[in-house]
Structure 1
Amino acid sequence: MSLALRRGRWAVAAIFLVNGFLVGSWALQIPVMLDRLAIGEFTLGLLILGFGAGALVAMPTAGYFISRHGSRAVVRALALACAFGLLIVAAAPGLWSAAVALVLFGALIGGTDVSMNANAVAVERRLGRAIMSSSHGFWSLGGFAGGGFGGLAIVAWGHLGHAVIVTAAAFIVTAVAIRFLAGETEPEASSGVRFSLPRQPLVYLVGIIALFSMVPEGAVLDWAALYLREERGAGLAMAGWAFAGFSGAMALMRFAGDAVRDRFGAVTTLRVSGLVAAAGMLTAALSPSPLLAIVAFAFSGLGIANMVPIAFSAAGNQDGISSGAGLSLVTTMGYSGLLVAPSVIGFIGERTGFAPVFATLSVLLVVVVLMAGLARSAEFRATDAAVQPAT
């Protein structure tokens, strides 16, 4: 492996880290917006929905530009712009300016997400081995760092001071990292690429795998703490461990996931991961005690950790379609489960309770197990491209 390609592998990891750091930092700005904009929770919810809408619109658009210009060029442009997204939101003086800023920030986050995943696919191809799971592990690590630092920073320097520090750190790391990004070995498409949906049905099925993997993730992130408090009698401090256990286990497994996937193959890893995730989710739904439910959510996180990275690798390695087009479609489908589905889940959970919801989500994970063979394009073997120098 050339020095340039090794640097490219760590450069894209740094972009994942910064993207997660920005999202984690944004999460701490959310409650501040209630007071500084003098709005209610319903209005705040609409603003957050705008963030998600911006991301979902930008994802297929980024795929189009990746097909024309390659992932490296698109990552460079979007990641640098994305570093300033949080600052724009924090500096917005009123409701409407905040709404526009959030749509823009969401678009930059979503577009960077697609392009950095496409670049990770390009590096995987050239290395001949998996790096997607550990790349997502860096994203989780960045989110943890952003969330942990954000609260202290806002208390010490206010929401705007926090945003300035986050922006400076994100910009510096990104500016260094983009110098070392590796690119595709050859153009994936000519300049005549059209902005259209892929015609291959298999990539949509891979999108369903991503969707069914990310809906449970979104449900745990948004509703597990409430489930433990309202239905299992946990205190506020204990209820918070549902998310912490789940996300911590997911981050740890993502760093181990590439070695597991290279050893056993993508399809086998996806099947076993789906079974582990389904067992944990069902146990959490049936658990009579909050402590057992917390352990079960963490167990489910171990399984879910590698499911989305494998789906993204499969999407970026479809025959007859550029990695940008495949990834933009599958990423959009998957993130709709993370950004949109929790709202529907909350509506249902208020009427049925969340135990039946989590039990039903375990069924979605079993469906992923049954569909795992469709992710065979995520399997890797060493090729001549793996030893080519970075371009």
Structure 2
Amino acid sequence: MTGSPMSVSTARTPYMTKNRFGVSLLFLMNGFMMGSWAPMIPEFAKRLSLSEAELGLVILVFGLGSLSCMPVAGSQIARIGSRSVTLFCAAIFVPTLLLITLSNTVWAGVITVFLFGGLTGAMDVAMNANAVAVERGMRRAIMSSCHAFWSLGGLIGAGLGGLLITKIGIYGHAVALTIIAAALLAVAWPRVMVDRPHPEEERPKGGLPLTPLPWIIGLMALFSMVPEGAVLDWGALYLRNELGASVAVSGFAFAAFSLTMAVMRFAGDLVRERLGAVRTLQVCSALSIVGLLIAGAAGNAFIAIIGFAIAGIGISNMVPIAFSAAGNMPGLAPGIGLSVVTTMGYSGILVAPSAIGFIAEHTGLATVFLFIPLLHVVVLLLSRLARHADGASGH
């Protein structure tokens, strides 16, 4: 095991600091905006008279926006620091859902969704880079809890969204969520850590690293996130169609997965400090493999739900560790490493659902959930490469 310097340092700051609170609020705000978008989609499709296929293309535009803006954010973080990039992106991000709601033509809808996706992705890279900077300053792990705040924001946004749309209409909802997001940003703004770019760090031409390590860590993030997307998009359908669950019970697949993942993300930093990033990643990978195999081999919905809950415990801290490792690679500006890893990781969420649908049509979803753990076997085998995630206290 690679020992964690975070666990032995005597110079660490208190558990919660101004900078940690600031970056946590940014994760909460970003998650809240993403969660708020979900209940808006049916009305958006109806307003612009989009078929399911056309809506699918518009949602793909969201993904293309994210993937195209993530590398741009990474190069700007290397040049001017993560605070400036995060706050700039967040400020423009706040009104995007209001603009989507005011879009009355397909082209206006496509442009605003691309902007929404692009700023989501750019802010994602920048706030993760800022979280890495806070980790370094605090000499303790905080990445898992930051991602837990994102999950919490998504839960609040999705839960509140349906209620507000019912009570005050789609425009009232858009104005309310914009005010809430602006308020979160206003509170976070003075508390976000000021970081400086490091001129001595490698600045590859074109913003792309020339060493293999960031790309391998990116592959680990990709392989960590594909199963997450599989449970999100196909878990309920698997319970309903192949295990005979009712509509109500089938929803528990992702609910159980999300609950255990959120709880373990809040606990993940403490686990990482105790075990170190490498050992934590090994334990998490093993748990997710076991959980997904239980779900895939389940004879009934109850056993499958237990399997998904165990998988949630495992998957919870795999991506945060990959992001910490990306931001702490020696000789590489944090924004560059993070832009590669986030772009590769999130491309898994975009590409996996359609690929899984194609495979499932020929083999069934049970087979998919039995074979997807192979991706986490690869992560387990590569886990020692995540040792730089413990480097936050060494800078």
TM-score interval (norm. to shorter): over 0.9
The whole-number CA distance in structure 2 between the counterparts of 1:362 and 1:197 is 30
| TM alignment of 1:214-293, pairs within 5 A | 214-293=225-304
The whole-number CA distance in structure 1 between the counterparts of 2:350 and 2:157 is 19
Which is worse superposed, 178-187 or 370-379?
178-187
Structure 1 residues without counterparts, runs of 5 or longer:
386-391
Letter in 2 for 1:305: S
Partner of 1:34: 45
The whole-number CA distance in structure 2 between the counterparts of 1:62 and 1:198 is 15
Contact 2:220 2:322 in 1 (8 A): yes
| TM alignment of 1:107-256, pairs within 5 A | 107-184=118-195, 187-188=198-199, 194-256=205-267
Structure 2 residues without counterparts, runs of 5 or longer:
1-11
Letter in 2 for 1:226: L
TM-score with structure 2 setting the length: 0.94
Contact 2:77 2:197 in 1 (8 A): no
Letter in 1 for 2:327: G
Decide which of 117, 131, 135 is 1:106's aligned counterpart: 117
Q: CA deviation at 1:194?
A: 4.3
Partner of 2:385: 374
Letter in 2 for 1:44: L
Which is worse superposed, 176-185 or 312-321?
176-185
Letter in 1 for 2:152: L
Q: 4+ residue stretches of structure 1 with deviation over 2 A?
A: 183-196, 380-383
Partner of 1:10: 21
Contact 1:123 1:183 in 2 (8 A): no
Letter in 1 for 2:269: D
The whole-number CA distance in structure 2 between the counterparts of 1:68 and 1:46 is 34
Partner of 1:316: 327
The whole-number CA distance in structure 2 between the counterparts of 1:2 and 1:379 is 16
The whole-number CA distance in structure 1 between the counterparts of 2:20 and 2:308 is 31
Cα 1:235–1:7 change in 2 (3 A) is: same
**SS across alignment from 1:379:** helix
Contact 2:202 2:331 in 1 (8 A): no
Q: CA deviation at 1:291?
A: 1.1
The whole-number CA distance in structure 1 between the counterparts of 2:170 and 2:371 is 39
TM-score with structure 1 setting the length: 0.95
Letter in 1 for 2:212: P
Q: CA deviation at 1:187?
A: 3.2
Decide which of 6, 18, 21 is 2:32's aligned counterpart: 21
Contact 2:135 2:392 in 1 (8 A): no
Letter in 2 for 1:250: M
**SS across alignment from 1:234:** coil
Contact 1:55 1:109 in 2 (8 A): yes
Q: CA deviation at 1:189?
A: 6.0
Q: CA deviation at 1:128?
A: 1.1
Q: CA deviation at 1:192?
A: 8.0
**SS across alignment from 2:141:** coil
Q: CA deviation at 1:350?
A: 2.0
Q: CA deviation at 1:351?
A: 2.2
Contact 1:316 1:327 in 2 (8 A): yes
Indicate yes or no: 2:100 matched with 1:89.
Answer: yes
Q: CA deviation at 1:195?
A: 2.9
Cα 1:381–1:33 change in 2 (3 A) is: closer
Letter in 2 for 1:49: L
The whole-number CA distance in structure 1 between the counterparts of 2:126 and 2:386 is 20
Q: CA deviation at 1:34?
A: 2.4
The CA RMSD over aligned residues, in Å, is 1.7
Letter in 1 for 2:125: V
**SS across alignment from 1:31:** helix
The whole-number CA distance in structure 2 between the counterparts of 1:265 and 1:190 is 25
**SS across alignment from 2:17:** helix
Letter in 2 for 1:65: Q
Q: CA deviation at 1:190?
A: 8.5
